[in-house]
Amino acid sequence: MSLKVDATSLMLQITESLQRLLSSLTSPPTTLIVGFSGGVDSSFLLHALACSSLGSSTSLPPLHAVYIHHGLSDQADQWQLHCQEFCEQRNIRFSAVKVQVPDLPRTSLEATARDARYDALLDICKREQGALVLGQHQDDQVETLLLALKRGSGPAGLAAMPAVSTKCDVALLRPMLNVSRSSLEEAAKALSLEWVEDDSNTDLRFDRNYLRQTILPMITARWEQFGGSVSKSAELLQEQNALLDEVTKERFLSSRNADNTLSVARIQALSLPWQRAVIRYWIRLHRKPMPSRIQLEEILQTMGARVDANPVVSMSGYDIRRYNQSLFLTESLSRPEPQKVTPGTIIQLPWWPIAFEIEGQGDFSVVAAHEIKRLQVLNNPLAKTPGKWFKEWKVPPWLRNQVPVIIDKEHPVAVILTDKIIYLSAAQKAQYIIRLVDTALPE
């Protein structure tokens, strides 16, 4: 039988846990952005942190509670009002953000809503140099691990949610991963806290709800400490993954080319398990969804394709291509559209992967090279079609219709490649410099 929960002790435990997580960060945040749904978990978290800010000698950064309005429930406006009043009573800064949740084919509404929620919260964190504090608890951790098992995930997926992680350069802090939902509910009732109940949490069409409502009650009825045991396993896996990452990084760096592609020859010199690990590591650095096991095997097969072939494996939102004995990760690029260019600003075209900047004066615009019949390179008497130049410059075939050309007063003056600038004959007396902006992946 479980012991009675002491609400004050639990609040102190959560606050101390958050302080430990904050002390592990290399750059302390100026604000704590708390994802606040109005449910019991985020309500108890926010209440505990607000009380700590009032009475602790070790003060936390200022709190900012953010409610994400998905527009998926008729009660969303009511929940927003409840959250606002909850924060006003505790003198906590509050914001509400409305997001659009598109109904995408072959994508669960649950996942799309989660992505929209995180995007909105991370945007606020970046603006305020804040860390994101989340109310995910031990039961959430168990559900995450079981869902990873269902998907056939590897060690990274089975490690579930770390207490400290980084997403889009924002620190994510989860101080309640060792606290059960039942403990939170018992403590919240003892403090007479009010919270909202999301009716969608009972919809068994969602896998997480099915686990929560059907499977986990049976498991915990038999093994009361199951949640704690799963949390320990997740922590052990996270530790082992960190050690594995150190070695994988070494092999990745020895396989990476200067342009952030992977050398096919150096990858193939590794054992098959290390080939898979290095490719996954590379994809993770690009912040892209991990390929399935089948997709990963297809990527490995591209490396053995004919030399004159240009095989491609399409993933969710990106492609892996083998070209010129290297693996490229490419994104879907927009259709090129002519546009004006302002000197002194970094230009990131939606249809070209590399950013650039122009220093100096001129009447600049940019067009795709295929709109120009012939190009004459500076100090070269020959004019050729863009296609012939691209073959000579080894521009990958999938980029050739996208290559930008800088125009100054109706004259083409430079071609922007992914690794260099090619000046054209009209730039001979130019009073400006064009440079690429570094977009290298982190080490």
Lowest mean pLDDT among 32-41, 51-60, 373-382: 51-60
- Residue pair 177/183 in contact (Cβ under 8 Å)? The answer is no
Per-residue pLDDT at 88 exceeds 90: yes
The number of C-alpha atoms within 13 Å of 332 and in the hemisphere containing its C-beta is 6
Does 395 show up as a binding residue in the annotation? no
What does CATH list as the number for 256-331? 1.20.59.20
Residue 55, marked binder:
no
Q: How confident is the model at residue 274 (pLDDT cuts 50, 70, 90)?
A: very high
Q: Where are the beta strands (DSSP E) in 261-332?
A: 262-263, 312-314, 318-323, 326-331
71 carries a ligand binding annotation: no
- Tens of pLDDT, residue by residue over 305-339, are 888 888 999 887 899 999 889 999 988 777 888 88
350 confidence band (pLDDT: 50, 70, 90): confident
Q: Do 99 and 68 touch, CB atoms closer than 8 A?
A: yes
- Identify whether the C-beta of residue 401 lies closer than 8 Å to the C-beta of residue 333: no
User: What are the residue boundaries of the structural domains of the chain, listed by start?
Assistant: 7-228, 256-331, 339-436
How open is the CA angle 412-418-421, to the nearest 5 degrees?
Answer: 40
Could you tell me which CATH class the domain 7-228 is placed in? alpha beta
- Strand order, beta sheet including 130-133: 93-98, 63-69, 31-35, 130-133, 170-173, 164-167
Q: Which residues contact 182 (CB under 8 A, 6 or more apart)?
A: 2
The answer to whether 38 is annotated as binding is: yes
Amino acid identity, position 103: D
3-state SS assignment for residue 391? helix
pLDDT at residue 439 tops 80:
no
Tell me whether strands 93-98 and 262-263 are parallel, antiparallel or unpaired.
unpaired
Parallel/antiparallel/unpaired status of strands 164-167 and 170-173: antiparallel
Tell me: is residue 41 an annotated ligand-binding position: yes
The helix-helix angle for 7-23 and 181-190 (nearest 10°) equals: 120
Say which residue, 111 or 12, is predicted with more confidence: 12
Q: Is 314 one of the annotated binding-site residues?
A: no
